[in-house]
Amino acid sequence: MRMKDKVVLVTGGAAGIGRATALRFAEEGAQVVICDVNEAVGQEVVKQFGEGAAFYKVNVTSREDVQKWINAVLAKFGRIDVIVNNAGVLRDGQLVKVKEGQLVRQLSEPDFDLVISINLKGVFNCAQAVAPVMIKQGGGVILNASSIVGLDGNFGQTNYVATKFGVIGMTKVWARELGKYNIRVNAVAPGFISTEMVTAMPEKILDGMKSHTPLGRLGDPRDIANAYLFLASDEASFITGEVLRVDGGIVVGT
């Protein structure tokens, strides 16, 4: 019960790593509050997190949506101890694709903008909304979802890599700015994790992921949830501004 009576927010908490993270915190006694754009799934999933857990439909790209959410959580629970900025999307594509000397395809501007707005601006919006609350109450923990591709790069993911690299930068800035208020800020960089999105990929792709991971398997969403739990707990009370790789030892591209 390391998080007993703590109020923990998880964005993108209706599926995948977000859902596993919310469940893990609930198991440790937290009052879990999740948000997602998928209201039907979110309302169903939140039932797994125990009495007092709450779901809100929130678009993290909207500053108004985010502020309304934070205000509602404060009205209901009175404080916010941890936020896990997990919400994110993929829209992969090569910068340019050339065939026989001719440009045949390129990463579209709408796909670039969408990923930036959710994965990067969404993290910014949520952190900026919650920081004043944590300052006023005397402390808190902000945890951000990066990725190993934010550290190593990856083919066909200009937009996604840019966001995950940017999240690392914001994490380090906020750790410096907010430390004096007893707010710790860290990031987690998952490797290949067996979420619904990943396991739907062709078997050949999955085999490639496993073969490039020294531990020989995909990670489980709970592996990432455990990393978030550790970083949120008092056991990590002197850790801030760090990026924790949870990747089975992989180096992307090798």
Enzyme catalytic residues: 160
Q: Whole-model pTM above 0.85?
A: yes
Domain ranges in the chain are 7-246
Please list, in sequence order, all residues whose beta carbon lies within 8 angstroms of the beta carbon of residue 32, skipping any fewer than 6 positions away.
8, 10, 13, 22, 25, 26, 46, 49, 50, 53, 54
DSSP, collapsed to helix, strand or coil, labels residue 64 as helix
DSSP H or E run through 40: helix 39-45
Q: Cα(13)–Cα(224) distance, rounded to whole angstroms?
A: 13
Token pair for 126: 């949520």
Q: What is the pLDDT along the chain (254 residues), one digit of tens a residue?
A: 899 999 999 999 999 999 999 999 999 999 999 999 999 999 999 999 988 899 999 999 999 999 999 999 999 999 999 999 999 998 999 999 999 999 999 999 999 999 999 999 999 999 999 999 999 999 999 999 999 999 988 889 999 999 999 999 999 999 999 999 999 999 999 998 888 777 777 888 888 888 888 888 899 999 999 999 999 999 999 999 999 999 998 876 54
Q: Cα(12)–Cα(143) distance, rounded to whole angstroms?
A: 13
How large is the greatest C-alpha to C-alpha distance in the chain, in angstroms?
62
DSSP H or E run through 56: strand 54-57
Pick the CATH number of 7-246 from 3.30.365.10, 3.40.50.1000, 3.40.50.720, 2.40.30.160: 3.40.50.720
Query: Are 79 and 137 in contact, with CB atoms under 8 Å apart?
Result: yes
